[in-house]
Structure 1
């Protein structure tokens, strides 16, 4: 699960609520939707929050009030705001009563990719500062490419599969993405899901908000 603290104004270090999200993934690890619930100190109740999940990805002003955190930080904040003990994740899922669907389409087959090769894009909303960019590059083990459109590129293998990934900026201050090419071998495909999850979390930890996981081929 992903946890966020929501403040009443941008830059406010005194959060007033907690947002909990979980990506709904298909069999090929593309995102089909986002389940979410929000708790506010003013009401003291949990409610489904698909509108909030959508808004923090499209509204820069609201996004400036949102801080991605881990469960430990959410746990401490929830207690400090008077919520008591943060429910475990199974309990939190019972508050996911309305899903925010994400657009889904079959991957394009252009006849240019080798057999068992897949291409994914993990899209993020927000902007990376200099520190965040350096941290993201380190977490993803990126090497410079010389291409102004690509921050860095890396490759690796896991579970009998080969992977290559790139961090790209989309527009000026609009969005970022990690593009992943997977060359599948004969091992369990779960290694692909684990890599996509790791890269999504690595960028999220730098303050960006994951929007979707798409597949292009």
Structure 2
């Protein structure tokens, strides 16, 4: 669940059990996917078409539509919805109306091949001049969309524990739609290409 500024306020989830054909919702399971490495290793992100095929093969029925699936969300895991943490003076570069800094945290680890694919996907340059995967900042990318400029760092948060994307958005347009779209695209790539699980989206400025 996202707030108006695209930060995360809660995690919704629903599951279906093949043993009894029932749907369920569990905040504890949502938390476990992000904190328990053994459980996390059993989770694989797939596109809807694949999920439809698997569900039809196992259950003999069609996978419910998005609205119906969202109706299965009953046990939300709430996240901290405090105001953005200001790390120093929120200076806005000349020519822009606002500067925001986001951190998207992911549970899991990247091997060298998945890290290489992400760097290629985003045309990343090594932030510290090193191509060594253990480097804390693995790469930096930049996107200009209309009057907005967005840059993001792929950063390791502890060996084998977690990674994050630190996004700086300098907004020159009248809306923040570009921020929301890019955050969604980045999360999707981290799920499908890197097999990491999103934990939260915070704002630092």
| Fold agreement, TM-score > 0.5 | yes
Q: CA deviation at 1:110?
A: 4.2
> Per-residue displacement from partner, 1:143-177 (whole Å, max 9, x unpaired)?
11226321000111114211110101111101000
> Per-residue displacement from partner, 1:60-87 (whole Å, max 9, x unpaired)?
0111111111111111111121251100
Aligned length: 194
- Residue 99 of structure 1 corresponds to which residue in structure 2? 76
Aligned mates of 1:149, 1:97 — CA distance in 2: 38
Aligned mates of 1:74, 1:110 — CA distance in 2: 41
Task: Return the structure number with greater relative CO, CA threshold 8 A, min gap 6.
Answer: 2
TM-score in terms of structure 2 length: 0.90
Q: Do the aligned residues in 1 keep the contact of 2:11 with 2:79 (CA within 8 Å)?
A: yes
> Per-residue displacement from partner, 1:49-70 (whole Å, max 9, x unpaired)?
2221110000001111111111
Q: Which moved more, 1:78-87 or 1:60-69?
A: 78-87
- For the aligned residue pairs, the C-alpha RMSD in angstroms reads 1.3
- Flag structure 2 segments of 5+ consecutive residues without an equivalent: 93-97
Q: Do the aligned residues in 1 keep the contact of 2:105 with 2:201 (CA within 8 Å)?
A: yes
Match 1:208 to one of 193, 196, 200: 196
Match 1:57 to one of 31, 34, 44: 34
Q: CA deviation at 1:109?
A: 2.7
Correspondences of 1:21-170 after superposition (within 5 Å): 24-115=1-92, 116-145=98-127, 146=129, 148-170=135-157
Aligned mates of 2:147, 2:187 — CA distance in 1: 21
Aligned mates of 1:74, 1:54 — CA distance in 2: 22
TM-score in terms of structure 1 length: 0.85
Q: Do the aligned residues in 2 keep the contact of 1:160 with 1:187 (CA within 8 Å)?
A: no
Query: Which has more strand, going by share of residues?
Result: 1
Deviation beyond 4 Å, 4+ runs, structure 1: none
